[in-house]
């Protein structure tokens, strides 16, 4: 997916560059505008994608952790919160633990990408399709 998106960005520093300022990323309102154009803003809001990520990945992490024989919550929960830029409740831990856990964050991001793109076909096949068709398939007349 990222390789395909990189082709679209033309080697710019951002995967999703702003149309006006290509050295900057898209704004926080771009996804909202895309949902409105796709006709899905009544059912989906951008912040809902963060909630979906948190719910799905935390439940999945706990399930896999328990299947491995553990009784407590998965240690991935803290990393998932970190991926959402959540600050630890424990202020001391937040002040001293500056670990980024990047290798595990990358693994979790790939797992999420696999989950949400299952059944979509190759990313390159989605390019150039109308927004609604890329997400749901062609409309029925």
Q: What digits encode the pLDDT tens for the residues 119-138? A: 887 777 776 666 555 445 54
First-to-last alpha carbon distance for the chain, in angstroms, is 30
Say what percent of the chain tops pLDDT 70.
79
Phi (first) and psi of residue 96, to 5 degrees: -100, -30
Average pLDDT of the chain to the nearest whole number: 81
Domain coordinates of the chain in residue numbers?
1-44, 45-121
CA angle, corner 136, sides to 52 and 124, nearest 5? 95
């Amino acid at each position: 997916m990222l390789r395909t998106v990189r082709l679209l960005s033309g080697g710019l520093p951002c995967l999703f560059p702003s149309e006006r300022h290509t050295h900057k990323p898209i704004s926080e309102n771009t996804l909202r505008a895309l949902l409105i154009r796709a006709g899905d803003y009544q059912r989906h809001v951008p912040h809902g994608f963060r909630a979906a990520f948190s719910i799905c990945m935390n439940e999945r992490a706990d399930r896999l952790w328990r299947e491995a024989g553990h009784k407590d919550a998965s240690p991935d929960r803290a990393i998932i919160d970190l991926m959402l830029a959540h600050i630890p409740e424990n202020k001391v831990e937040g002040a001293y633990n500056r670990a980024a856990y990047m290798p595990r964050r990358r693994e979790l991001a790939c797992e999420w990408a696999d989950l949400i793109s299952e059944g979509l076909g190759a990313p390159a096949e989605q390019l150039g399709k109308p927004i609604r068709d890329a997400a749901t398939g062609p409309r029925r007349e």
